[in-house]
Structure 1
């Protein structure tokens, strides 16, 4: 079993498998997104009819839930606070879907459950099928893999040792500010507002050393409104 303290930044978890079926995409579209109801009279040169993009989101959520229920890291939890959701291409009937989760950074602000740590992650739903970018070969379309959708979210992992209790406003503000900067930088990179800066993706040991070496900031040095708002939406509370 691995714990929060052992999770390496930059690791990618790969899991899940789901074959897109015609009946389930039609049922989903009929109930929630009739614009994507497949036309049985339409012939498709490559692949099957396109599914609703919200169907793709639902499948990603199901694969995540199935993984969280069986993952050896007991207590792993994905919080579906979706940030920077992007649909990269259509998911079609017959495609094979899986999930890849890249760990971008470990967040330091403790949740209400001090026995759990949180990581900022990028979730990508990968689609394998003959759509989009396939090339001709032996009179057949070659299957290719490409991202169908992606978003940022948080992942909770059990701690080996309970998080230290924060006693002062300065401690709370310092950790909120540090996490807020990490989240802001990740969002900006995901939305292509700035180039990736390796200095913003520090490992937890580097952050811990920095926090230990520097005195807490004065109470007036609060995090930006953007950072505070993001952390509230990610973790809830004041």
Structure 2
């Protein structure tokens, strides 16, 4: 298990492999972001996107799926997140794209009021199959401290 004490500023990780599915793009947008360029090839062709594109919020959801899969693989003692900062959608994400993640720890601090956890701040970059960044954000996560023996 990877605990708060195991995380260091400068730690990096690369993970994830998520194929963006056209039907999922439309289904997500239909329910949560029903803008025409997320729903229709014809409508998207009339915009700067040029073709059907995934909602930025869908890109966030796909990224979260990759993060959770990685946390399970690394067996990190994660306890959730109080939030993210600096969310930026840099390039459109299209059906057929393959997304992956890179992250770097930029700060850690022990909780002043909860000795059983610490906070880790990381810069996340999501890339497409051309290694072009499509989204960035800074996340703060809570991680359990190592239990006493």
The TM-score by the shorter chain falls in which range?
A: 0.7 to 0.9
Q: Which residue of 2 aligns with 1:71?
A: 74
Q: How far, CA to CA, are the matches of 2:67 and 2:86 in structure 1? A: 18
Larger helix fraction of residues: 1
Structure 2 unaligned residues grouped into runs of 5+ = none
Q: Which residue of 1 aligns with 2:34?
A: 34
Whether the aligned pair in 2 keeps the contact of 1:78 and 1:153 (CA below 8 Å) is: no
Cα displacement (A) at 1:89: 0.7
Whether the aligned pair in 2 keeps the contact of 1:87 and 1:149 (CA below 8 Å) is: yes
Cα displacement (A) at 1:67: 2.5
**1:49/1:104 Cα in 2 relative to 1: closer, same or farther (>3 Å)?**
same
Q: How far, CA to CA, are the matches of 2:96 and 2:89 in structure 1? A: 18
Q: Which runs of 4+ in 1 moved over 6 A?
A: 40-43
Confirm or deny that 1:98 pairs with 2:84: no
Cα displacement (A) at 1:160: 2.8
Q: Which residue of 1 aligns with 2:146?
A: 160
Q: How far, CA to CA, are the matches of 1:126 and 1:17 in structure 2? A: 10
TM-score by length of 2: 0.80
Q: Which residue of 2 aligns with 1:7?
A: 7
Whether the aligned pair in 1 keeps the contact of 2:123 and 2:136 (CA below 8 Å) is: yes
User: Deviations along 1:72-97, whole A, 9 cap, x unmatched?
Assistant: 23x22441502111111111111111
Q: Which residue of 2 aligns with 1:218?
A: none
Q: How far, CA to CA, are the matches of 1:21 and 1:116 in structure 2? A: 37
Confirm or deny that 1:61 pairs with 2:64: yes
The structure having more radius of gyration, on CA atoms, is 1
Cα displacement (A) at 1:12: 1.3
TM-score by length of 1: 0.53
RMSD (Å), alpha carbons? 2.5
Aligned residue for 1:10, secondary structure, equals coil
**Larger relative contact order (CA 8 Å, sep ≥ 6):** 2
Larger strand fraction of residues: 2
Count of equivalent residues: 142
